[in-house]
Amino acid sequence: MATTDVRKQPRKRERTVNEATPFDTIAKIAGGACLPRSLHAVADLGVADALDDQPRTPAELAAASGHIRTRWRESCASCLHTESSRWTATRSGTRRHRDSCDPTTRTRLRAFARMLGLELNWNAYIEFGHSLRTGQPATTKTTPRGLWAYFQENPEAGRIFNEAMVSKAQAQVPAVIAAYDFSPFGTIADIGGGRGHLLQALLQADRSARGVLFDLPNVIQDAAAAASDRLKLQAGDFFKDPLPAADAYILMEVIHDWADDESLAIFKAIRRAAKPGAKLLVIEQLIPGDNEPHWSKMLDIHMLTLLGGKQTHRQGVRRTAPPHRVRALPRASDAVRCLNHGSGGRLSGPSTEPCH
């Protein structure tokens, strides 16, 4: 009678108590919309602003924020935690972090969360399958006139979007200024520069330079306060209208909004306007070459769904833009791409050396 050596039989691996089951993984991903929607609601209601240094009960927090709903545990889990039966802020919402910036900046950080929760964004993901099948933005079905027309027609949504872009730009501006020497340029043009925070910071750092902020008319109208004797505002559409002549051009997180054909059209428009020897700096978040979670990878999906654009891998920059140099910023996900405009309107040859 044959016998079996049980020592040679593979043991069935036991799952630990805290280990996720396949159901846990699928449920977290497929049902995960509740978490961001909870955060969006908390931001809309101003719940975190009602917290101070002392923990609050749900009832106290509801009263302080002006809202009477009491199911705080589910909705506020992403930014609050409990001490017994009272709520305090987590690291992402601590008083210390909120006090490290002025009230206007705190409002703009809140706007960034609200922007991601705009009805426009969530409606687009209902048609996400269209983007996967065609490579076209889902908004062609949900918002046929396009994202930018939507913001012009819905001023409140446009305001939240603009404030969110400002809050994000303010975190990036110091890294951009530290990464590149702008002092050789007499005139710097920020194309699609929003309310001009980057350009204002550059002019503050270099008192001899002048700047031109170019964006759509409604954006330029909102940026009126940025105008000065050294900073000119110019409204227009870079696909239709002439761009300003300048010694240096900046495209900060503009190219990722567009597919390759439109991106090349923007580059060509800049080259037509550029002075001999001018430089173009393209600032984008680059997708790292690994399989780890990263905001730029999620942003890539957002760009496809909302605009038909995309984020670029570092090695993919050469296929998107003319010959260039790439320099990493202190944040590994960002990069400055330098495109030299040589004599005779021809771009200089490629280089892997840092921009300088």
Residue 114 lies in a domain: no
Beta carbons of 310 and 300 less than 8 angstroms apart: yes
Best mean pLDDT range from 85-89, 197-201, 333-337, 352-356: 197-201
Residues 6+ apart with CB under 8 A from 165: 194, 195
93/150 same-domain check: no
254/144 same-domain check: yes
335/223 same-domain check: yes
Residue 241 lies in a domain: yes
57/143 same-domain check: no
64/153 same-domain check: no
Residue 201's CATH number: 3.40.50.150
269/140 same-domain check: yes
Domain membership of residue 219 as a residue range? 134-345
Of 46, 70, 98, the residue at which a domain comes to its end is 98
Beta carbons of 279 and 348 less than 8 angstroms apart: no
Q: What is the mean pLDDT of residues 96-115?
A: 61
> How far is the first Cα of the chain from the last one, in angstroms, to the nearest whole number?
81
Residue 354 lies in a domain: no
Residues 6+ apart with CB under 8 A from 118: 157, 160, 161
149/94 same-domain check: no
Which spans in the chain are helix H?
22-30, 34-45, 58-65, 72-75, 95-99, 103-116, 119-126, 128-134, 139-142, 147-153, 155-179, 197-205, 217-222, 260-273, 295-307, 317-320
Of 98, 124, 147, the residue at which a domain comes to its end is 98
91/157 same-domain check: no
In 279-299, which positions are buried (b, 16+ CB within 10 angstroms) versus exposed (e)? Answer: bbbbbbbbbeeeeeebebbeb
Residues 6+ apart with CB under 8 A from 280: 248, 249, 250, 251, 267, 270, 274, 337, 338, 339, 341
82/144 same-domain check: no
Residue 104 lies in a domain: no
Of 98, 119, 143, the residue at which a domain comes to its end is 98
List pLDDT tens digits, range 114-147.
888 899 988 998 898 888 888 899 999 999 988 8
List pLDDT tens digits, range 138-182.
999 999 988 888 988 998 898 888 888 877 777 788 888 888 899
User: How many whole angstroms separate alpha carbon 246 and alpha carbon 270?
Assistant: 9
Q: Which of 40, 197, 256, 341 is catalytic?
A: 256
Range with lowest mean pLDDT among 106-110, 312-316, 317-321: 317-321
175/280 same-domain check: yes
147/240 same-domain check: yes
Instruction: Assess whether 256 carries a catalytic annotation.
Output: yes
227/333 same-domain check: yes
- The number of folded domains in the chain is 2
pTM: 0.69
